[in-house]
C-alpha cells in the first residue's frame, strides 16, 4: 500500500493532481514505482545479509565492512531519491540506466539538503517513539503488571504500524519538494553552454 500512497503524494505536490477513489497498483507508473522501490530494497537486504554473515565469522573486519556498506548505502539512497518523483509523475526516460544517471546528476550538490530536511522532518518522531518505548514498551514487566505492559506494547506496535503510512507520505513530500526545487536550478550542461557562449 505504500507505493500508491507515495505516488499519490508525488503527483499531488508536483502536478496538483488529487487522487480520487481507492488507491491501487493499477496505473502503470505505480507499478513501475513499486518495481524500483522493490529492487532497491532487495539490494539493500542482500548487502545486509552478506555483511551479517561476515560479522559472524570475523567480527572486527565484518563490523568495519558493515559500517562501510551502511555509509555507501546511505549515499546511494540519497542520490537515487529523484528516481521516485520522476517515475510517479511519468517523466520519460530512454533506459533504466538513464533514469539512474539523471537522479545522480540532479542530486549532485543537493544531497546534504535532502539529508538535513530528512533529519528535521523525521527526528522529532523518532525521539517521540523512543520516549514511548522507554516509558511503556522497554521496561521489564513485573508479575502484577504483565497484562498492562503487554497492552502498552501492543498499542505501541499498532501506533508504529499506523505511523508508517504517515512516514511514507512525509518522505514522498520531501522528495517532491527537492525534485521541484532542483528542476528550477540551472544544470551543469546549461552552465557549460553559457560559459562556452561567453568565451566565444
The 10 Å Cβ neighbour count of residue 92 is 7
Split at pLDDT 50, 70, 90, the class of 100 is: very high
Q: What is the pLDDT of residue 148?
A: 54
Helix residue spans in 80-200 (DSSP H): 83-88, 96-107, 111-132, 146-183, 188-199
Model confidence at 81: pLDDT above 80:
yes
Helix (H) or strand (E) holding 63: helix 59-79
Is 83:175 a contact under the CB 8 Å cutoff? no
Rounded-to-integer distance, Cα 186 and Cα 10, Å: 22
Q: What is the pLDDT of residue 171?
A: 92
Percentage of residues of the chain with pLDDT beyond 70: 76
pLDDT in tens, 180-198: 998 887 654 333 333 232 3
pLDDT in tens, 147-182: 555 666 666 667 766 678 888 999 999 999 999 998
Mean pLDDT of 60-83: 84
Residue among 15, 6, 198, 169 nearest 91 (CA)? 15
pLDDT: is 172 or 130 the higher one?
172
The 10 Å Cβ neighbour count of residue 96 is 13
Rounded-to-integer distance, Cα 177 and Cα 182, Å: 9
Would you call 168 helix, strand, or coil by DSSP? helix
Mean pLDDT of 68-90: 91
Residue among 187, 186, 185, 182 nearest 14 (CA)? 182
Model confidence at 5: pLDDT above 60:
yes
Model's pTM, two decimal places?
Answer: 0.74
Amino acid at each position: 500500500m505504500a507505493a500508491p500512497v507515495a505516488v499519490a503524494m508525488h503527483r499531488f505536490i508536483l502536478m496538483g493532481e488529487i487522487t480520487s477513489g481507492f488507491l491501487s497498483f493499477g496505473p502503470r507508473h505505480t507499478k513501475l514505482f513499486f518495481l524500483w522501490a522493490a529492487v532497491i530494497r532487495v539490494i539493500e537486504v542482500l548487502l545486509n545479509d552478506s555483511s551479517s554473515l561476515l560479522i559472524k565469522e570475523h567480527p572486527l573486519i565484518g563490523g568495519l565492512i558493515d559500517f562501510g556498506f551502511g555509509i555507501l548505502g546511505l549515499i546511494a539512497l540519497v542520490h537515487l531519491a529523484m528516481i521516485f518523483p520522476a517515475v510517479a509523475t511519468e517523466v520519460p526516460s530512454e533506459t533504466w540506466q538513464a533514469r539512474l544517471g539523471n537522479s545522480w546528476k540532479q542530486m549532485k550538490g543537493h544531497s546534504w539538503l535532502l539529508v538535513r530536511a530528512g533529519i528535521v522532518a523525521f527526528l522529532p518522531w523518532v525521539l517521540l517513539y523512543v520516549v514511548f518505548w522507554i516509558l511503556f514498551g522497554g521496561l521489564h514487566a513485573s508479575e502484577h503488571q504483565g497484562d498492562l505492559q503487554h497492552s502498552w506494547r501492543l498499542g505501541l506496535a499498532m501506533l508504529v504500524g499506523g505511523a508508517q503510512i504517515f512516514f511514507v507520505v512525509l518522505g514522498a513530500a520531501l522528495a517532491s519538494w527537492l525534485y521541484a526545487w532542483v528542476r528550477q536550478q540551472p544544470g551543469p550542461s546549461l552552465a557549460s553552454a553559457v560559459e562556452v557562449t561567453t568565451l566565444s
